[in-house]
Amino acid sequence: MTDPTEAEINAFDITDAEAAQINAIAHPLLADPAPDANDDLVQIDSTVDGTVFITINRPAKKNAFDAATIAALHEAFETLHGADNVRAVFIRGAGGTFSAGADLQWMADAAGWTESDNRDDAMGLARMLKALHDIPALTIAVVEGAAMGGGAGIVAACDMAVAVEGSRFAFSEVKLGLIPATIAPYVIEAVGARKARQLFLTANTFDADYAAHAGLIDMVLPEGMVDEFISMLTDSLTLNAPGAMGEAKRLVRDVAGQKIDSGLLEETAKRIARARVSEEGQEGVRAFLDKRKPRWAE
Ligand SMILES: CC(C)(COP(=O)([O-])OP(=O)([O-])OC[C@H]1O[C@@H](n2cnc3c(N)ncnc32)[C@H](O)[C@@H]1OP(=O)([O-])[O-])[C@@H](O)C(=O)NCCC(=O)NCCSC(=O)C[C@@](C)(O)CC(=O)[O-]
């Protein structure tokens, strides 16, 4: 994966006046900030232009997630399901690690539980990952440091991921006598079944370049470029119709893996027909023909 070219960077540019106009439109998360509980384990920050930052904040344990952290993440992700005006959700880890995956003390404690208790407990993690996957906005993992086991699973469950040079990844579960079970659907979706078998069975640690090559992340960022990447991406997203972004995400979810038959053709034609007559569809096409920037309802 190569770094963005200057032309690609410029394509994200909007003027200060446009940014000010967009920033003037407040979104609901600001009026009613997300989660009150679990502020310590998970930090949530939002900006006026529809960007949310969720930071896993347990640096003393390398952002490993126990039941309380999973509950806090789940709550944060679910809050975003109805936030129509949020365009981008960045997931980060505090203190120089993305996440060390499942808390191994918690895993050890569970050895004394019944299989059924363990299953119920694992469902908490499975539901948290699904809540992340179901966020209608674009989700982006920003890896700075290690993303291990379930931490790399969170990366896979996002729509997009970047990692700073020097970041490390591993699906280390089989080294621990465990398996990457709840994260498997997302990892397989990201890298394919064959690569997932290789990564899961070797449990080797790999670097950001290899993660990009495998398809687990989209881009390797040079050290010190995270803020610039975030601002470039968020600026570019303010140009997109928020409703259409959500529809496009649902489209991929619903169409992926389907047989291309007449039923699917009908379905996709119905969706573009709906988009063409929508307020956004009308405004976006009209703006192009009028040679002006579109104005999206927030
Ligand atoms: C992350 C690095 C590279 C940092 O490596 P480092 O920077 O050298 O830091 P460290 O190893 O000295 O760790 C600092 C502190 O964090 C703790 N720590 C660290 N990780 C964990 C953890 N997971 N659970 C609980 N505690 C953890 C560690 O025990 C230590 O605590 P202290 O001794 O200071 O009290 C290293 O610590 C490491 O390799 N950790 C283990 C990562 C790992 O193997 N994760 C897989 C977990 S299993 C899993 O995720 C299962 C799952 C979810 O996939 C199952 C499913 O899919 O269903």
Query: pLDDT tens digit string along 49-94?
Result: 789 999 999 999 999 999 999 999 999 999 999 888 899 999 999 9
Ligand 1: atom nearest CA of 153 is 54
Looking at ligand 1, which residue's alpha carbon is closest to its atom 2? 100
Looking at ligand 1, which residue's alpha carbon is closest to its atom 25? 103
Looking at ligand 1, which residue's alpha carbon is closest to its atom 55? 180
Q: Say what percent of the chain tops pLDDT 70.
A: 87
Residues lining ligand 1, Cβ inside 6 A: 61-62, 64, 97, 100-105, 122, 125, 146, 148-150, 153, 172-173, 176, 178, 180-183
Superfamily the domain 6-237 falls into: 2-enoyl-CoA Hydratase; Chain A, domain 1 (3.90.226.10)
Over range 219-241, report the average pLDDT.
Answer: 96
Say if residue 24's pLDDT is above 70.
no
Would you state the pLDDT for residue 48? 80
Would you state the pLDDT for residue 39? 56
Q: Say what percent of the chain tops pLDDT 90.
A: 80
Give 95's DSSP letter: G
For 125-157, what is each residue's pLDDT tens digit?
999 999 999 999 999 999 999 999 999 999 999
Binned at pLDDT 50, 70 and 90, residue 13 comes out as very low
User: What residue spans define the domains of the chain?
Assistant: 6-237, 242-289
Would you state the pLDDT for residue 204? 98
Would you state the pLDDT for residue 122? 94
Binned at pLDDT 50, 70 and 90, residue 95 comes out as very high
Looking at ligand 1, which residue's alpha carbon is closest to its atom 1? 100
Say if residue 8's pLDDT is above 80.
no
Residue 182 Cα to ligand 1 midpoint, Å, equals 18
Q: DSSP letters along 53-69, please?
A: EEEE--GGGTT-B-HHH
For 153-186, what is each residue's pLDDT tens digit?
999 999 999 999 999 999 999 999 999 999 999 9
Say if residue 29's pLDDT is above 60.
no
Would you state the pLDDT for residue 1? 41
Over range 198-209, report the average pLDDT.
Answer: 98
Ligand 1: atom nearest CA of 151 is 50
Q: Which of 103, 105, 148 to mutate for ligand 1's pocket (most ligand atoms within 8 Å of CB)?
A: 148
Say if residue 22's pLDDT is above 90.
no
- Lowest-confidence pick of 115-124, 197-206, 268-277, 278-287: 115-124
Would you state the pLDDT for residue 50? 86
Cβ-in-10-Å burial (0-12, 13-18, 19+) of 106 comes to middle
The Cα 100–Cα 21 span in angstroms is 40
Residue 270 Cα to ligand 1 midpoint, Å, equals 48
